[in-house]
Amino acid sequence: MRGGRNVLLGLALLLFTGVTLGADADTARHGTAEKPQGSQPPAQAREVPKLPAGVSPALYAIAVPPGAEPSPEKVTLGQQLFNDKRLSADGTIACANCHVPDKGFVDGKPQADGINQQRGQRNSPTVLNAMFNASQFWDGRAATLEDQAKLPILNPIEMGIKSPEDVVAKVRGLPEYAETFQKVFGRAVTYDDLAAAIAAFERTQFAGDAPFDHFIGGEENAMDDAAKRGWALFNGKGRCNACHAANAVSPLFSDQKFHNIGIAAHKQNFVDLAREALQTVRTGDQKQIDELAIQTRFSELGRFLVTKNESDVGAFKTPNLRNVGLTAPYMHDGSLATLWDVMDHYNKGGIQNPFLDGGIQRLGLTEAEIDDLVAFMFALTSSQFADLGQKELTRQQALKDQRPERDTEAAMGKKGNFGDLAPNPDKMNPADIGVF
């Protein structure tokens, strides 16, 4: 057992401080990171930038494929493209419209706005720490940041340019880009290079240095008492760590998997919708899947659009919780206004449907316990967004009396048939385990 504990401590030091390299770090990418080839140095030896607390240098190196390192020149070009509305068909929408840097790289809207005042079906996820995602978008339909950068430009509702060739022609016609692409890539504009530049910029948008990171590093007073109680509930009665684990082998607050938690069951009959989709969806047709996800009622099928597996009906990716306090409204469709609404949804056992994830059951949390869990989640806000986090906490607190998802009787087992509660650990406080 002593040897096993040493392994865990080594992994923890890797994932929270980057001291050593542990085998489990590679699984955070689920095999999507490319292997070094030829004379390229191994991930352990590659140079990484100075990183904030809570972002591991080893994990960073693994998450950046060889050849995709964000050089200053490539990042500058990518940032310019990220903010350039001319990449849309009508000149009104840039990446930054839906991923606003000053707002934590979200837009604060339930669903994203596109060209011609159109609105899609999905909420805009944050770009922060997207470089660590095993796949991109709520349904994982893009494997890499480069693929993610390409699709919105071509989607008819989002940026609306008809083809990659049209994108390239448009950018080549902008004089300020011609010289820059030659300097950065050694050739004229290509769609792959354009996406690579945007992805390079996005790879500089990592975030840590939250009160939680300092607490887990041994600073006892880095989180207040409410957040500490929330961290214990997160790992105990609330069972949040079943999907949002943050521990010695996972600093990402996401299992990188897809789950049906019942959100989309508000709107659709999943069984009928899935049957219809089986006749429509062309597996592997990324453009079709992207358009169905953004433009149609099939959006609520989630991961099923990508895999056509029955187990993926209504399943969406577990989001990273870092800076979650900034990213309201919540869920893939932006249907929950506050973190109190999110907790109410889980507390009552989600929304019943034939494809509900087996781990979803009522929690029986009291109002005080919900408050503590929300306090903990706001303790995941990076120091650079501390003022914005406090402002957002105040805004959400003002909405606490407006709780459409709240069902205390269901949460406490006084109505319905949502099963018994899981046992609550009582021998030790989970929040005290693994503080170095």
Instruction: Report the pLDDT value the prediction gives residue 49, as an integer from 0 to 100.
Output: 85
Instruction: Report the pLDDT value the prediction gives residue 8, as an integer from 0 to 100.
Output: 35
CA angle at 330 for the pair 327 and 335, rounded to the nearest 5°: 140
| pLDDT tens profile 200-224 | 999 999 999 999 999 988 999 999 9
Please give the average per-residue pLDDT across 31-59, as a whole number: 62
DSSP state of 36: P
Please give the average per-residue pLDDT across 35-39, as a whole number: 40
273 three-state secondary structure = helix
6 is written with which tokens? 């040493």
Kindly indicate the confidence band of residue 250, based on its pLDDT and cuts at 50, 70 and 90.
Answer: low
CA-wise closest residue to 82 among 158, 169, 153: 153
Instruction: Report the pLDDT value the prediction gives residue 422, as an integer from 0 to 100.
Output: 55
Amino acid sitting at position 115: I
- Per-range mean pLDDT, top range of 20-29, 88-97, 265-274: 88-97
Answer whether residue 419 shows pLDDT above 90.
Answer: no
- Give me the active site residues, please: 158
Cβ atoms of residues 191 and 164 within 8 Å: yes
CA distance 241 to 327: 20
CA-wise closest residue to 372 among 163, 225, 154, 207: 225
Answer whether residue 34 shows pLDDT above 80.
Answer: no
CA distance 304 to 46: 37
CA angle at 99 for the pair 95 and 100, rounded to the nearest 5°: 110
**Which DSSP string corresponds to 61-99?**
HHHS-TT----HHHHHHHHHHHT-GGGSTTS---HHHHS
Answer whether residue 432 shows pLDDT above 80.
Answer: no
Phi first, then psi, for residue 317 (nearest 5°) are -65, 140
Cis ω before 211 (30° cut-off from 0): no
Please give the average per-residue pLDDT across 173-200, as a whole number: 96
What does each C-alpha distance from 380 to 18, 211, 262, 420 come to in angstroms? 19, 6, 25, 30
Instruction: Report the pLDDT value the prediction gives residue 423, as an integer from 0 to 100.
Output: 54
Kindly indicate the confidence band of residue 158, based on its pLDDT and cuts at 50, 70 and 90.
Answer: very high
Instruction: Report the pLDDT value the prediction gives residue 120, as an integer from 0 to 100.
Output: 96
Instruction: Report the pLDDT value the prediction gives residue 48, as an integer from 0 to 100.
Output: 79
123 is written with which tokens? 């909420």
| pLDDT tens profile 315-371 | 999 999 999 999 999 999 999 999 999 999 999 999 989 999 988 999 999 999 999
CA distance 241 to 247: 9
Kindly indicate the confidence band of residue 3, based on its pLDDT and cuts at 50, 70 and 90.
Answer: very low
How large is the C-alpha radius of gyration of the chain?
22
CA distance 28 to 23: 10
Cβ atoms of residues 314 and 304 within 8 Å: yes
CA distance 406 to 409: 9
Q: What is the mean pLDDT of the chain?
A: 87
Kindly indicate the confidence band of residue 247, based on its pLDDT and cuts at 50, 70 and 90.
Answer: low
Handedness of CA 317, 321, 327, 331 (dihedral sign): positive
Contacts 24+ apart (CB under 8 A), 176-184: 180/77, 180/80, 181/77, 183/73, 184/71, 184/73, 184/74, 184/77
| pLDDT tens profile 93-150 | 999 999 999 999 999 999 999 999 999 999 999 999 999 999 999 999 999 999 999 9
Instruction: Report the pLDDT value the prediction gives residue 343, as an integer from 0 to 100.
Output: 98
Kindly indicate the confidence band of residue 21, based on its pLDDT and cuts at 50, 70 and 90.
Answer: very low
Answer whether residue 44 shows pLDDT above 70.
Answer: no
Kindly indicate the confidence band of residue 417, based on its pLDDT and cuts at 50, 70 and 90.
Answer: low
Beta-carbon contacts of residue 304 (< 8 Å; ≥ 6 apart): 274, 277, 310, 312, 313, 314, 315
Structural domains of the chain ordered from first start: 2-63 (no CATH), 72-202 (1.10.760.10), 211-262+314-432 (1.10.760.10)
